Structure 1
């Protein structure tokens, strides 16, 4: 029987995940505590509102797609303070008052400028970085609807077998990892999927970006997964995982929850 094997949320857009035992799915389709903060480029606009929902394309601030070295930064967000560390060493720990935001932005800027991604950060209009978001509202989504993302562990394992570099669930930045289904089977799902007590409607498969090339431990682009998906798996577009929205109200899902398809 398919079940949830891992859950993740991403408090800071474009940064590494926090593994969770449970996630609260909001009625509108986002995850509580997910993408509630972001490091904005100097010339970037605020989140846009469409149909009453905020969204904010990743090109407006730091993200793994363009700054793979961010994969080395581990974070913890407890609702009051953001703690960052690199390779086990503290980088910064601050609250969201003006001084804390300044120190966090300066610490992240200093870190990135010391990596191979420095030239991207020095591009026109990017500095100084500003930490934005209230730490509560899930508003820094790529898409106006937000969505909950899911993939099967078998799909990741099948892709791992095709390349020399290690490939695990973290590369794909999904909220939900599902065990017990065949590789790529989730791409064919349609209609409803029930995870624990929450019913979802399947929206569409997820077309991937360069973020999946970054090793989640080293921050190096060590696996050319986009061409692997198209050339070796035979996909028209590089695709892994699906987007979901609650079929009614949201609720809480847990690691170990049964997944019922159809």
Structure 2
């Protein structure tokens, strides 16, 4: 029987994940505590309201797609204290609360880091500086899609892709909320209809189309694997995809590491 091996949330859009033993799936389909903050470009618009749900494309702020060097940073978020911690190779760059002064210092620390990397030119582009750390720290609102979705992939799919390239490829590149084992490589892409994780029922909506973010090495921040081309050329996909998007059927619930996964 397939089962959940790992769960992740991404408190700040475009930054590193936090491994969790359990995730709360909200009624709107989003994960509690996921994408509750974002570093917005100076000239970027606020999230758009679409059918009562926020939508905020990754082009409006820092994201791995355009800034692979972000992968080297380790970010953690304390929900209760509203405290963000950013480190590089074990060295603390900033630890601040979400008051105006703390947000300013976090923006300065992240800006200084990016400007010292090969991504500096992109950050210096017109309209991008100064950065602003936006979000209330509690509302999940900085998703790429108006429907937030829960993202899932099979560990076997990542292992199959890793076998095709020289660079190390692991689950971190694909930024899913849920990683499962016990299914064959690419099997999850064929799922349709109901998917149950533990006691929470979902509907499989669509495979996840992938962007340049997956080509960034999570340890070095460098684009070291042409995974989009490998998915189409070597795996034989029409478009580069890995993993699927899920929406809860009857409200949300809690999913946990070790939960059984049933499809169909």
Task: Supply the distance in 2 between the matched residues of 1:207 and 1:98 (Cα, whole angstroms).
Answer: 36
TM-score normalised over the length of structure 1: 1.00
The number of residues matched between the two structures is: 262
Aligned equivalent of 1:115, options 86, 97, 117: 117
Residue matched to 2:22: 22
> What CA distance in whole angstroms lies between the structure 2 residues aligned with 1:159 and 1:141?
26
- State the shift of 1:126 in Å: 0.3
Matched, 1:166 2:165: no
> How far does the alpha carbon of each residue in 1:221-251 deviate from its partner, in whole angstroms, 9 at most, with x for none?
0110000000000000000000000011100
Find the counterpart in structure 2 of residue 88 from structure 1. 90
Distance of 2:213 and 2:24 partners within structure 1:
25
Could you say what secondary structure the match of 2:127 adopts? coil
* Partner residue in 2 for 1:33: 33
Match in the other structure for 1:48:
48
1:165-207: CA deviations, max 9, x gaps? 0000000000000100000000000000000010000000001
1:126 aligned to 125, 128, 135, which one? 128
Q: Which runs of 5+ in 2 are unaligned?
A: none
CA distance in 1: counterparts of 2:188 and 2:138, whole angstroms: 31
Q: Measure the CA separation in 1 of the matches of 2:251 and 2:51.
A: 18
1:130-152 residue CA offsets vs partner (Å, 9 max, x unmatched)? 00000000000100011100000
Instruction: For 1:96 and 1:78, locate their aligned partners in 2 and report how far apart those are by CA, in whole Å.
Output: 11
**Pairing 1:247–2:263 present:** no
In 1, the alpha carbon distance for the partners of 2:17 and 2:219 equals 12
> Is 1:102 aligned with 2:104?
yes
Match of 2:68 in 1: 68
Q: Per-residue deviation at 1:261? A: 1.0
Using the alignment, how far apart are the partners of 1:65 and 1:166 within structure 2? 18
TM-score by length of 2: 0.99
Whole-angstrom CA distance in 1 between matches of 2:217 and 2:20 = 21
Distance in 2 (alpha carbons) for counterparts of 1:261 and 1:144? 25
- Cα offset, 1:112, TM superposition: 0.2
Measure, in 2, the Cα distance between the counterparts of 1:189 and 1:182. 12
Deviation digits for residues 6-53 of structure 1 (CA, Å, limit 9, x no counterpart): 000000001110010100000110000000000000000000000000
RMSD of aligned Cα (Å): 0.4
